Structure 1
Amino acid sequence: MLVVETVAKIRRLHLVQGLAIKAICRELGLSRKVVRKVLRSGATEFRYERTRQPMPKLGAWQAELDRLLEENAGRASRERLTLMRVFEALRGLGYEGGYDTVRRYARGWAQSRTSTAAAAFVPLSFAPGEAYQFDWSHEVVLIGGTTVTVKVAHVRLCHSRMLFVRAYPRETQEMVFDAHDRAFAFFRGACTRGIYDNMKTAVDAILVGRDRSYNRRFLQMCSHYLVDPVACTPASGWEKGQVENQVGMVRERFFSPRLRVNSYEELNALLLDRCVAHARAHRHPELRDRTIWEVFEAERPSLVPYAGRFDGFHAVTASVSKTCLVRFDSNKYSVAAGAVGRPVEIRAYAERIEIRQDGRVVGEHRRSFGRDQTVFDPWHYVPVLARKPGAWRNGAPFKDWLLPGALERVRRKLAGVADGDRQMVDILTAVLSDGLAAVEAACAEALRDGVHSADVVLNILARQREPPAPLTILTPDALRLRHEPLADCARYDSLRRSV
């Protein structure tokens, strides 16, 4: 194949120095056919592309290779096999050819697939405060030394391109509610329209055209923030292309190299800082003279004012076991002993669990995202201790229970007394009637006097409950007698004589 340098020499020898074709052939060692081809075409470069590549060993395996390549293309980008792995899979089926043949065929297959699948799109433009886009992504981080796949909620304002990202353990509906609330609180407002894909936490059914049957709770959230939800056409990610591009950008800039944090709180604080730093440092793609943050500040007055936190929970009913526990999301949570025997409503928020019965809160816990874990509130079991004091020593809710200051000191002192468990139960039971602050103060007073028995603590509480002594009534000087009466027994004697 003629290289560019040889073509240039031929052209200079003939056109500049005026040498004949025969002389050029002698000097460069080329055939007349080649020299004539260069001079007649006027081209400065020649390329050779084989029109047909014989692949005798691959012929019988072409259909199988097409199947492997199609399966590999359908996988998620992180799970796709390299071409060498595809070649090894084909060899495992019996193919005896070389890797280079498979590589050339795969390149042609990819080019033909790209040419048939390419599509054109219309660029979109949004007014300030008109719309935002929402999506999820999965990222890998190290939390407390453990590799965890977190679910990251992405919100993007379409006009200013301002972004907000927050990580969660799940993609459930209560996480969607929390992500919207935190995003709108950060933006200090919402847009009039929200663009989503057809996620199950928002869309119950896809109807004809643009019509959707939205989830009732999702519609309540949109109504609270005055947002009109719009769902994309299935498999048409370009309709929310801004947030789709944001997912790739955030993965590259925020999560690479792999983040190492101690908790979700630390991770989300880091992500928020990076969102602000990115917006301040990068130019707006259309308004090149301003940064994303400057355009965002200008867009804020056009946003729908922030309506406050939406009560975003996912509610389910559950029964209470005789051990005062309810099961939710593969974990168990304790409730007040009085709730046993009747169903309760569990309200699951993004970070906590609230348990209600007849409109009254009977339990509240920080949410656990593990499996087969039991979360206790020991105070839920104190009424049971009053009837079964023997459970104090080995009761699971009371292990590693750290009581408030004075109560904990009394507990330690009673641990070495013969009936110390019973006395401690009596003191804890008093909390139900007198309150924790009063019992804590009584324990502190008893310890100052050098005693710690339950009788003393309960006696102090009883004195505190006694009504105060009546006030002494003082007689004013205006009502005081000037001449006090004197006793005269002779008057009674005169009466007796008259009878």
Structure 2
Amino acid sequence: MKCVDTIARIRREHFVRGKTIKEIARELHVSRNTVRKVLRSGATAFEYEREVQPLPKLGPWRDDLDQLLTENEGRAAREQLTLIRIFEALRALGYEGGYDAVRRYARGLQRERSSSSAAFVPLSFDPGEAYQFDWSHEIVLINGVTTTVKVAHVRLCHSRMLFVRAYPRESQEMVFDAHDRAFAFFKGTCTRGIYDNMKTAVETILVGRQRAYNRRFLQMCSHYLIEPVACTPASGWEKGQVENQVGLVRERFFTPRVRAKSYEELNAWLLDQAIAYAKAHRHPEFADRTVWEAFEAERPSFVPYAGRFDGFHAVPASVSKTCLVRFDNNKYSVAASAIGRPVEIRAYADRIELRQDGRIVGDHSRCFGRGQTVFDPWHYVPVLARKPGALRNGAPFKDWVLPAGLEKVRRKLASVEDGDRQMVAILAAVLSDGLPSVEAACAETLREGVCSADVVLNILARRRDPAPPVTIMTPEALRLAVEPTADCARYDTLRRAV
């Protein structure tokens, strides 16, 4: 088929210069039928597309290839074969053709089955109307160890302001903490929250948009005055802003791989990066302002920040005879008085709180490893009253850092025969008198150069119940009517007499 420049020249020679078909065919070295076709059709370009592809090698194997492709589509996404693998399977059946024919046929079949391309409607949100929430998994180096962290993403739909924070888990208490920190940073909340159907929020997917939400998740939404909205399953475009934010944050914040000493340092750095990005980039809809400026303008439309939500995940647990409770593959100590009855574990994002009958019997920083045991030595002090020898070899007391005064007394008593028993008596006094009082009593004992539990306990008792001041009063019957006057001359007279 002739090129468009040849077609254009044919049209100019005939319609502008008035040449005949015979003259044009002779000058341009084309056939008269070609010249007639160009002039009569009025077209400026001609394209040819083969209607029927002969496929001489693939034709006999078309049914087998269709079966292989159909079976492949029925598999799960992770188990689907590539076209190379399908080509190899077809070759095993006896096909002798090339891979390109198989690839072209498969692509054409795919285009036929997808009758229409997916189309979307652009969305617009009012200030303070909605935010979107999602998780992503990123790889970082924390304290020199390669770690996969779970990153919580919050995106304001109107101003496009972003908030990201890294956690070791995607559990419910992490969801609560991420929301609280995001709303505290925004200084307010939106009226709607858009989520996918994560298990920490949605328990059951019902018909249409109806969802059975988690009870604790609904409590959080009620606290912040949020209406939760769950997307249709496998429809990420319904929260497309935060989906795009995941890719943006991964590209700009986590590439190259981030190095940090702790989660606190990593999250402080992520917050700085989010603010810097918002101040440096233009809003996609408001070209005259940055994302940060749009966020500042949106703030008055927020629902006021309601304060921190008590976001914990509660589970019951039993206490072992060694005053330990197991949670999340780790063990935490509780007060010795809690043995024999169940406790409630309240797991927060960064700490573990143990309660029994409404009373706190343990509070620890949370561990995210496996097989770790977290002790609070003060939980075992009442047990030492019966077994003072455990002070030397007890696991909770290994590397126990005491205040300076108590530590000096402990070292001095280590060389005494009954030093363990005396030290246990001093430690037991902390439970009744408080650590500052016992520390002051130990300091006073050391200043006097005496190191004994009896002295320390005596000082504490005198400070606890001070004796009333002694006042000397003369009874009226013994009071002298005439008080004697001093006369030193009488003393000199007695000396001369001697």
Report if TM-score (shorter chain) is over 0.5. yes
- Does the aligned pair in 1 maintain the 2:7–2:44 contact within 8 Å? no
Query: Are residues 391 and 91 of structure 1, via their aligned partners in 2, closer, same or farther at CA, if it must alter by over 3 Å?
Result: farther
Which residue of structure 2 aligns with residue 135 of structure 1? 134
Which residue of structure 2 aligns with residue 52 of structure 1? 53
Aligned-residue CA RMSD (Å): 3.5
Q: 2:67 aligns with which of 63, 86, 90?
A: 63
Query: Are residues 241 and 449 of structure 1, via their aligned partners in 2, closer, same or farther at CA, if it must alter by over 3 Å?
Result: same
- Does the aligned pair in 1 maintain the 2:354–2:360 contact within 8 Å? yes
Q: Post-superposition shift, 1:440?
A: 1.7
1:232 counterpart = 2:231: yes
Query: Are residues 409 and 208 of structure 1, via their aligned partners in 2, closer, same or farther at CA, if it must alter by over 3 Å?
Result: same
TM-score by length of 1: 0.82
CA distance in 1, matches of 2:91, 2:210: 49
Q: Post-superposition shift, 1:168?
A: 1.5
Larger mean Cα displacement after TM superposition, 264-273 or 134-143: 134-143
Which structure 2 residues correspond to residues 253-292 of structure 1 after superposition, within 5 A?
253-292=252-291
Which residue of structure 2 aligns with residue 434 of structure 1? 433
Query: Are residues 161 and 474 of structure 1, via their aligned partners in 2, closer, same or farther at CA, if it must alter by over 3 Å?
Result: farther
CA distance in 2, matches of 1:381, 1:95: 77
- Does the aligned pair in 2 maintain the 1:130–1:191 contact within 8 Å? yes
Which structure 2 residues correspond to residues 12-411 of structure 1 after superposition, within 5 A?
21=25, 51-52=52-53, 54=55, 55-56=57-58, 59=62, 60-68=64-72, 71=75, 74-75=77-78, 98-108=98-108, 111-112=111-112, 115-116=114-115, 118-411=117-410
- Does the aligned pair in 1 maintain the 2:191–2:225 contact within 8 Å? yes
Which residue of structure 2 aligns with residue 490 of structure 1? none
Structure 2: unaligned runs, 5 residues or longer: 485-498
Query: Are residues 323 and 46 of structure 1, via their aligned partners in 2, closer, same or farther at CA, if it must alter by over 3 Å?
Result: same
Secondary structure of residue in 2 paired with 1:184: helix
Structure 1: unaligned runs, 5 residues or longer: 26-30, 487-499
Q: Specify the code of the residue in structure 1 equivalent to 2:445.
A: A
Q: Post-superposition shift, 1:236?
A: 2.9
Write the deviation string for residues 257-313 of structure 1: whole angstroms up to 9, x where unpaired.
222222211221122112111211111111111111111111111111001001111
Secondary structure of residue in 2 paired with 1:431: helix
Write the deviation string for residues 398-421 of structure 1: whole angstroms up to 9, x where unpaired.
122222222223333444444443
Q: Specify the code of the residue in structure 2 equivalent to 1:182.
A: R
CA distance in 2, matches of 1:184, 1:89: 55
CA distance in 2, matches of 1:149, 1:455: 55
Q: Post-superposition shift, 1:88?
A: 6.7
Secondary structure of residue in 1 paired with 2:268: helix
Q: Post-superposition shift, 1:468?
A: 3.5
- Does the aligned pair in 2 maintain the 1:10–1:38 contact within 8 Å? no
CA distance in 2, matches of 1:49, 1:444: 100
Q: Post-superposition shift, 1:86?
A: 6.9
CA distance in 1, matches of 2:80, 2:72: 11
Q: Specify the code of the residue in structure 2 equivalent to 1:314.
A: H
Matched-pair identity in % = 70
Which residue of structure 2 aligns with residue 493 of structure 1? none
- Does the aligned pair in 1 maintain the 2:138–2:150 contact within 8 Å? yes
Secondary structure of residue in 1 paired with 2:207: coil
Q: Post-superposition shift, 1:204?
A: 2.4
CA distance in 1, matches of 2:12, 2:151: 66
Q: Specify the code of the residue in structure 1 equivalent to 2:53.
A: R
Q: Post-superposition shift, 1:15?
A: 6.1
Q: Specify the code of the residue in structure 2 equivalent to 1:408.
A: E
- Does the aligned pair in 1 maintain the 2:25–2:32 contact within 8 Å? no
Q: Post-superposition shift, 1:141?
A: 2.0
Q: Post-superposition shift, 1:185?
A: 0.6
- Does the aligned pair in 2 maintain the 1:143–1:260 contact within 8 Å? yes
Q: Specify the code of the residue in structure 2 equivalent to 1:443.
A: C
Query: Are residues 99 and 193 of structure 1, via their aligned partners in 2, closer, same or farther at CA, if it must alter by over 3 Å?
Result: same
Q: May I ask how many residue pairs the two structures share in their alignment?
A: 469
Secondary structure of residue in 2 paired with 1:362: strand
Query: Are residues 371 and 37 of structure 1, via their aligned partners in 2, closer, same or farther at CA, if it must alter by over 3 Å?
Result: farther
Q: Specify the code of the residue in structure 2 equivalent to 1:427.
A: I
Q: Specify the code of the residue in structure 2 equivalent to 1:304.
A: V
